[in-house]
Amino acid sequence: MPRPIQALIHTAALTHNLARARAAAPDARVWAVVKANAYGHGIENVFQAFRGADGFALLDLEEAKRLRALDWRGPILLLEGCFEPRDLELCSRLDLWHVVHREAQIDWLAAHKTQLPHRVFLKLNSGMNRLGFTPQAFRSAWVRLNALPQVDEISFMTHFADADGPRGIEHQLKCFLEATADLQGERSLSNSAAALRLAGDDPQVRADWVRPGIMTYGSAPDYPEHDIAHWDLQPTMTLRSQLIAVQHLQGGDTVGYGSTFTAEQPMRIGIVACGYADGYPRHAGTGTPVLVEGVRTRTLGRVSMDMLAVDLTPVPAAQCGAEVTLWGKGPRGTVLAIDEVARAAGTLGYELMCAVAPRVPVLAAA
């Protein structure tokens, strides 16, 4: 028997969550963001569920090739644009739309020979200070692009730093609206947090395209302020394993490396075939939520490379072979949101889903 750990990808949940993104931004088109191998889910595993999207956004050229190999003929947007001049050849060959965020990318386009002019998204740095032209440089970048025979339609985008938090997007939205005020072209601003929290009330935030990522993978972008139940999102990935040993502790006994957990009284604990080499976060300390046979309990002590320990007090009947849900969907309709586990480990659902290790078999499920 193979080691019992598996990651299940829930196709129906992916479809549901994408529909939630559409509903959050009515009459905007939707980029399904599938960078980082579809946030760790596998592009091939999400493709059917997401093919109702208007396009796919990603940043790795190899992933763009994989989407075309699945026979996706619709738009694909490279969110970081080209990394070197010859990437433009692939854009021409596979008809990829690409972000233009710095001057050199315009130089490369000007020198590129193509039959088919490229659709580009000119990116404004409206305050996040990651990618994009400053408001001062934006206009001249547009003038240069607009004069190139290699360039077809020019669209405009920016990215929000605080759509999930109290600072909000007002300052960035204002900057974007000013920089693009008299320019013709489609616009794209919103990630998941902006789509869920702000796009419904403001057509300028919805704009022509929204770019939901994390929400479509069943994680709330503004957890813990809101959880997936609040946003009506469903887990799309379950990390599950089994108990491979049961131990009976006496008061004073300790668990795992560093003996960081000490039993106060006699208790049963279970050892789960899942550790940090599977992508489970090593920083999840005692008390991280976990389901055993669908019953909520907690981890104990340090996570080791291949194993972790769980408290069996709430599940006295659990034996070796009992099903353990590290996150996602448990038996009998139970759910452990990835956001809860992430928070206990001082990280985000994003990081956990992207970090599931290659040694974990990934299976498509209903």
Ligand X SMILES: *Cc1c(COP(=O)(O)O)cnc(C)c1O
Tell me which residues are annotated as active site.
Answer: 35, 257
Q: How far apart, in whole angstroms, are the C-alpha atoms of residue 114 and residue 132?
A: 25
Q: How far apart, in whole angstroms, are the C-alpha atoms of residue 23 and residue 160?
A: 20
Sign of the four-CA dihedral 228, 27, 48, 153: negative
Sole window of 84-92, 108-116, 206-214, 223-231 interacting with ligand X (rule: CB under 6 A)? 206-214
Q: How far apart, in whole angstroms, are the C-alpha atoms of residue 221 and residue 288?
A: 20
CB atoms within 10 A of CB 343: 17
The answer to whether the CB of 303 falls within 8 A of the CB of 280 is yes
Residue 157 annotated as binding? no
Rounded to the nearest angstrom, the gap between the alpha carbon of residue 361 and the centroid of all alpha carbons in its chain is 19
What is the phi/psi pair of residue 241, to 5°? -155, -160
Question: Residue 25 interacts with ligand X (CB under 6 A)?
Answer: no
Judged by CB under 6 A, the residue of 132, 213, 218, 281 near ligand X is: 213
Query: Footprint of ligand X on residues 226-265 (CB under 6 A)?
Result: none
Sole window of 6-14, 137-145, 207-215, 309-317 interacting with ligand X (rule: CB under 6 A)? 207-215
Judged by CB under 6 A, the residue of 191, 238, 242, 297 near ligand X is: 191
Q: Which residue's beta carbon is nearest to the bound ligand X?
A: 213
Residue with Cβ nearer ligand X (157 or 249): 157
What is the phi/psi pair of residue 278, to 5°? -95, -5
- 259 is written with which tokens? 């003996």
Residue 355 Cβ, how far from ligand X at the closest point, in Å?
15
Residue 199 Cβ, how far from ligand X at the closest point, in Å?
12
Residue with Cβ nearer ligand X (193 or 344): 193
Residue with Cβ nearer ligand X (58 or 151): 58
Number of residues near ligand X (by CB under 6 A)? 11
Output the known binding site for substrate: 130, 305
